[in-house]
Amino acid sequence: MIQLSSGELVSGSKKIITIFKIKEKQYEVLKRLKFHEDLVLKIIELKSKNIVSCSNDASIIFYNKDNMEQNNFKINTKGGCYTILQIKENEICYIEGNNSTICFYDFQEKKIKSSLANISVICRGSLNLIMISENLLLIPGENKISLININEYKIIKIIEVPDSNWILGVCALNKNMILTGDYSKAINQLKIEGDNLKLIAKKEKAHNDNISLICNLGNGYIASGSDDSSIIIW
């Protein structure tokens, strides 16, 4: 679920995107969008305020911000699309699941600018991508984190995260720190030092199963979600 700049909440489920408005502490459904044919895996709001969603049906759909209808702009991907992120004013990156390919797509020119295929460190499954600086994209993977220069479209560093197994959840704690959640059931705090990351702290056995989601709630709180069906506020 994401909160739009206009205040509405948007959630995705199997084939359906639902837009809510909070009214008198209740969720009022404003609209349901049924343009995807399989699981909706990620929804983001662009800087232009338009909405973009990706799905296991191998598509990315752009929606008009004024009426939230599909604006006749759809990207057909090669395999299920696990995640998307806006990295430049007119550019997104997305991960195709069939061969762990990351694509950099200019949605103004409507073409792929570059792609990196068969990257073994990219995780198999829904995951988070974050920009840790103006030029550096962070991609989690198996016991590793990759840093990609988005101007050169190439991996500049692969950082080992020992005993982490698959890293899925990633979020920025502040401009200097990130948190990761992984299949070792741990939460890692890492400091950003230029184009490197330094492990500062590790919370062992934060959950009883794999940690698949971690997010910064603000005001000093974070939330982590796990395959053990629990959500913990820290």
118: confidence class by pLDDT, cuts 50, 70, 90: low
User: How far from each other are the two terminal CA atoms of the chain, in whole angstroms?
Assistant: 19
pTM of the entire predicted model? 0.81
Is residue 159 pLDDT above 90, yes or no?
no
3-class DSSP assignment, residue 131: strand
* Chain segment 19-33, per-residue pLDDT in tens: 777 766 667 777 777
**What digits encode the pLDDT tens for the residues 88-101?**
999 999 988 766 78
pLDDT at 60: 93
Length of the chain: 234
| Angstrom distance (rounded) from CA 16 to CA 33 | 6
pLDDT at 227: 85
How far is 109 from 94, CA to CA, in rounded Å? 16
56 pLDDT tier (thresholds 50, 70, 90)? confident
Q: What is the pLDDT of residue 135?
A: 92
The CA-based dihedral angle spanning residues 66, 3, 83, 31, taken in that order and rounded to the nearest 10 degrees: -50
What single string gives the DSSP state of each residue in 4-37? Answer: -TTS-EEEE-BS-EEEEEEETTEEEEEEEE---S
Q: What is the pLDDT of residue 32?
A: 76
**Are 113 and 122 a contacting pair, CB within 8 Å?**
no
Across 222-231, b (16+ Cβ under 10 Å) vs e yields bebbbeeeee
Q: What average pLDDT is seen over the chain? A: 83
